[in-house]
Structure 1
Amino acid sequence: MKKLLIIILFFGIQISFLSCSKDNDNNTEAPALAEKISMDVSYGNNMQQKYDLYLPANRSTEKTKVIILVHGGGWTEGDKTDMDFFIPYIKLRHPEHAIVNINYVLADLDTPAFPNQFLDVDAVINKLTSEKNELQILPEFALIGASAGAHISLMYDYDYDPDDQVKIVGDIVGPTDFTDPFYSGNPGFPLLMAALVDEGAYPPGTNYPEVLSPVFRVSNGSSPTLLFYGNSDPLVPLSNGAALNAALNTAQIDHSFTVYEGGHGDWAANDIENMKSKISGYIDTYLEISE
Structure 2
Amino acid sequence: MKKFFKRLLIILIAAIIIFISIFHKRIILTYALVNKYISLKNDNMRTPKINGLKMSQSMNYRDVIYKNTNGVPLTLDIYSSLKKDNNPSPVILYVHGGSWVYGDKNIPDALSPVLNTFREEGYTIISTSYELNRNKADFNKQVADIKDTIRWIYKNNSTYNIDPNEIGVIGVSSGAHLSLLAGYSSNDDFIDDKTLSKYSSKVKYLIDFAGPTDLNLLNTNDLNYDLTKIFNSIKDKDTVIKKFNPMNYVNKESPNTLIIHSSFDPMVPYKSSKELYNKCVQEHAKVELITLNSSVHDLSNISSTDIGSMSEGLLKFVIFNSPL
TM-score, with structure 1 as normaliser: 0.75
Q: Which residue is equivalent to 1:236?
A: 268
C-alpha separation between the residues in 1 aligned to 2:119 and 2:285?
Answer: 24
Shift of 1:146: 0.6
- Secondary structure in structure 2 of the residue aligned to 1:226: strand
Q: Which residue is equivalent to 2:244?
A: 212
C-alpha separation between the residues in 2 aligned to 1:113 and 1:223?
Answer: 25
Report if the CA contact (8 A) 1:40-1:52 is conserved.
Answer: yes
**Amino acid of the structure 1 residue aligned with 2:233:** A
Does 2:110 match 1:78? no
Report if the CA contact (8 A) 1:69-1:101 is conserved.
Answer: yes
C-alpha separation between the residues in 2 aligned to 1:107 and 1:93?
Answer: 32
Larger radius of gyration: 1
Does 2:71 match 1:58? no
- Secondary structure in structure 2 of the residue aligned to 1:252: coil
Report the CA distance shift for 1:50/1:196 in structure 2 as closer, same or farther (over 3 A). Answer: farther
Deviation per CA, 1:174-195, whole angstroms, max 9, x where unpaired?
A: 0000123x548x4989974453
Given candidates 169, 182, 196, the residue that maps to 1:143 is 169
Does 2:275 match 1:257? no
Does 2:297 match 1:271? no
- Secondary structure in structure 1 of the residue aligned to 2:76: strand
**Amino acid of the structure 1 residue aligned with 2:210:** V
C-alpha separation between the residues in 2 aligned to 1:59 and 1:124?
Answer: 25
Q: How does 1:101-180 map to 2 (within 5 A)?
A: 101-109=127-135, 112-139=137-164, 140-161=166-187, 163=200, 165-180=202-217
Report the CA distance shift for 1:191/1:42 in structure 2 as closer, same or farther (over 3 A). Answer: closer
TM-score, with structure 2 as normaliser: 0.68
C-alpha separation between the residues in 1 aligned to 2:304 and 2:100?
Answer: 26
Shift of 1:255: 1.3
Q: Which residue is equivalent to 1:42?
A: 65
Does 2:271 match 1:195? no
Report the CA distance shift for 1:51/1:124 in structure 2 as closer, same or farther (over 3 A). Answer: same
5+ residue gaps, structure 1: 1-34, 200-204
C-alpha separation between the residues in 1 aligned to 2:127 and 2:187?
Answer: 19
C-alpha separation between the residues in 2 aligned to 1:94 and 1:209?
Answer: 37
Report the CA distance shift for 1:194/1:116 in structure 2 as closer, same or farther (over 3 A). Answer: farther
Indicate the RMSD between aligned Cα atoms, in angstroms: 2.8
Shift of 1:75: 0.3
- Corresponding residue pairs, total: 245
Deviation per CA, 1:100-133, whole angstroms, max 9, x where unpaired?
A: 01111111116x4311111111221222211111
- Secondary structure in structure 2 of the residue aligned to 1:65: strand
**Amino acid of the structure 1 residue aligned with 2:141:** N
Task: Work out the percentage of aligned pairs sharing the same amino acid.
Answer: 24
Deviation per CA, 1:197-256, whole angstroms, max 9, x where unpaired?
A: 9x8xxxxx9721122111222111211111111122221011111111110110112211
- Secondary structure in structure 1 of the residue aligned to 2:61: strand
C-alpha separation between the residues in 2 aligned to 1:38 and 1:227?
Answer: 29
Report if the CA contact (8 A) 1:70-1:150 is conserved.
Answer: yes
Shift of 1:89: 2.1
Report if the CA contact (8 A) 2:206-2:258 is conserved.
Answer: yes
Report if the CA contact (8 A) 2:251-2:283 is conserved.
Answer: yes
C-alpha separation between the residues in 1 aligned to 2:103 and 2:140?
Answer: 18
- Secondary structure in structure 1 of the residue aligned to 2:260: strand
C-alpha separation between the residues in 2 aligned to 1:170 and 1:48?
Answer: 26
C-alpha separation between the residues in 2 aligned to 1:252 and 1:214?
Answer: 16
Deviation per CA, 1:142-165, whole angstroms, max 9, x where unpaired?
A: 110110011011110111447573
Report the CA distance shift for 1:183/1:279 in structure 2 as closer, same or farther (over 3 A). Answer: same
**Amino acid of the structure 1 residue aligned with 2:106:** T
- Secondary structure in structure 1 of the residue aligned to 2:314: helix
Shift of 1:48: 5.3
